[in-house]
Amino acid sequence: MFDPTSRYAKLAVKTLPVTGPDGQPREIRYVERRFLPPAGAGTPLVEHDVVQGERLDRVTAKYLGDPTQFWRVADANETLRPEELTDEIGGTITIALPQL
């Protein structure tokens, strides 16, 4: 269902039985909730200093080789809003190997 590198790839797909508006039973499929890994779960590789105009996808591509893995950097920095990691010029972003 999801690409193997997706943050949702290892989550179970669940089914919720409901009654539709027509009174007929139907099923709603959904992916179970994803929790952030515990703090310090990954192995830090490098600390990156944010510069003017930087984007997280480019930082991720530089260090992890894949811009779509930005969520791994967000997890390592314990943020639910990845865009905030590059908001502060001079701020530091931890780039870490993911927990397997």
Q: Are 37 and 96 in contact (CB under 8 A)?
A: no
pTM for this prediction: 0.72
Burial class (CB in 10 A: 0-12, 13-18, 19+), 59: buried
Whether residue 95 has pLDDT greater than 90 = yes
**Domains assigned to the chain:** 1-35 (no CATH), 43-97 (3.10.350)
pLDDT at 100: 59
Distance CA 23, CA 33 (A): 28
Give the model's pLDDT for residue 99.
64
Rounded-to-integer distance, Cα 6 and Cα 17, Å: 27
pLDDT in tens, 30-76: 999 988 777 777 788 899 999 999 999 999 999 999 999 999 899 99
Please report the pLDDT score of residue 34 as a whole number. Answer: 86
CA distances from 74 to 26, 32, 42, 58, 67 (A): 36, 20, 12, 13, 12
